[in-house]
Amino acid sequence: MQASGSPATTAIRKDRDRRAKQADATPRIEEAIRAHAIDLGFDVCRFAPAEAAPSQGERLRAWLRDSAHGDMGWMLETAERRAAPRALWPEAASLVLLGLNYGPEGDPLASLSQRDCATISVYARNRDYHDLIKGRLKQLAGYMLKRAGAGDAKVFVDTAPVMEKPLAQTAGVGWQGKHTNLVSRDFGSWLFLGAIFTTLQLDADPPEQDHCGSCRKCLDVCPTAAFPAPYRLDARRCLSYLTIEHKGPIPHEFRENMGNRIYGCDDCLAVCPWNKYASAGRETKLAARPEFDAPPLEKLARLDDAAFRALFAGSPIKRIGRDRFLRNVLIAIGNSRRLELAAEAERLVEDAAPLVRGAAVWALGRLAPARLAELRLQRLPAEPDETVRQEWRQAA
């Protein structure tokens, strides 16, 4: 039996102390994941249990019962999988919620007063964020599993039935404001969200509380009164939905209030008082391209399909296609009060796409009603599409 002070015993104690110090110096897996996420370019990384936001399913079902999703049929089709993380992936144990700041350099609403130019939502003024974030989510998921030495993970960014905003609130990234978008005390309204579902057991962060208080600036600024109540959005009245997701003609009641917004709407985001803490995004790949900052309506109206695809290659705008895009541009032309743009509307009255022709009729009627009356005698009898025929009748 060795004495307590023997060389062998002393060596064992030293080795034990060294191992204890090493263990103390090794960061917890959550902190290691968080640090790696920041290194990859994310600005926020938080954790939640897979049971996060249990009430989101019922709120979603109530929203769908009210038909507030408009013609976004995929929302109805994926409702059950969207209702809870484990409904999508039963093996999930933890969630990693990521935020990437895309705060603009200047006033995102400045171009609304430039009637001969277009206003594009901040998030769409450069490359498609889905591609950028998904690649980084995959990198982070790979790092997590390698460090843990086991487990599985799935990454999501908008394209899967995941309710990122309530999950992000549960993880403490921010809270869903009265406009239903996520608000952060550090980044205001300007966070892209991504999620990683994993079988790893990760310690959850505390949820974020609602800090909207009595403020209702986001509700009052909405051009089309799309909020029937705080925390409730009727997509059928929302300009982001109408200019992006809606496939048919823009309903007449919303056209004038569209102004020159041709892709999305940032009004409710931009007026949030929490933006005083926001800063410009550090990701250069998401910085606004000069050609997307208040582009002239005249130039946009002349895009054929090939030119549209070339201009918006790698942009989320490309997804809606040239016809829907020109529909929006023509509504902006009709709202411009610029008589020199009437020629663009008149030219597009003969476009091959009924969606474009109908919007062109409306725009020309706003700018040059006498010229429209002349053309009506020629064009209406030969018009094969009933929706366009209705535009001619209403404009006249």
Angle at 102 between CA 100 and CA 104, to 5 degrees: 160
Name the active-site residue from 71, 116, 158, 186.
Answer: 158
H-helix segments, the chain: 7-25, 29-39, 56-65, 73-77, 79-82, 85-88, 129-148, 164-171, 217-221, 239-240, 252-258, 267-270, 297-301, 305-311, 321-335, 342-348, 354-367, 369-379, 386-395
> Cα separation of 304 and 284, whole Å?
29
Q: Which residues pair with residue 100 across a beta bridge?
A: 192
Distant-in-sequence, close-in-space partners of 188: CB < 8 Å, separation ≥ 6: 103, 272, 274, 275, 276, 277, 278
The pLDDT assigned to 81 comes to 67
- pLDDT tens digits in sequence order for the chain, 396 residues long: 444 455 555 555 655 565 545 445 557 999 999 999 999 999 999 999 998 666 777 777 777 787 877 887 767 666 676 768 888 899 999 999 999 999 998 899 999 999 999 999 999 998 888 889 999 999 999 999 999 999 999 999 987 778 899 999 999 999 999 999 999 999 999 999 999 999 999 999 999 999 999 999 999 999 999 999 999 999 999 999 999 999 999 999 999 999 999 999 999 999 999 999 888 887 777 777 889 999 999 999 999 999 999 999 999 999 999 999 999 999 999 999 999 999 999 999 999 999 999 999 999 999 999 999 999 999 999 999 999 999 999 986
The pLDDT assigned to 57 comes to 72
Q: Which residues pair with residue 193 across a beta bridge?
A: 99
> Cα separation of 169 and 272, whole Å?
17
The pLDDT assigned to 332 comes to 98
> 25 — alpha (psi -120 to 50), left (phi > 0) or beta?
alpha
What are the residue ranges spanned by the domains of the chain? 7-206+214-295, 296-396
Q: 158 an active-site residue?
A: yes
C-beta neighbour count of 260 within 10 angstroms: 23
Cα dihedral value 305, 308, 312, 314, nearest 10:
20
Distance between the two ends of the chain, CA-based, in angstroms?
108
The pLDDT assigned to 69 comes to 76
DSSP state at residue 253:
H
Of 169, 160, 218, 184, residue with least CA distance to 102: 184
> 321 — alpha (psi -120 to 50), left (phi > 0) or beta?
left
Asked if 47 and 95 count as a contact pair (C-beta separation under 8 A), the reply is yes
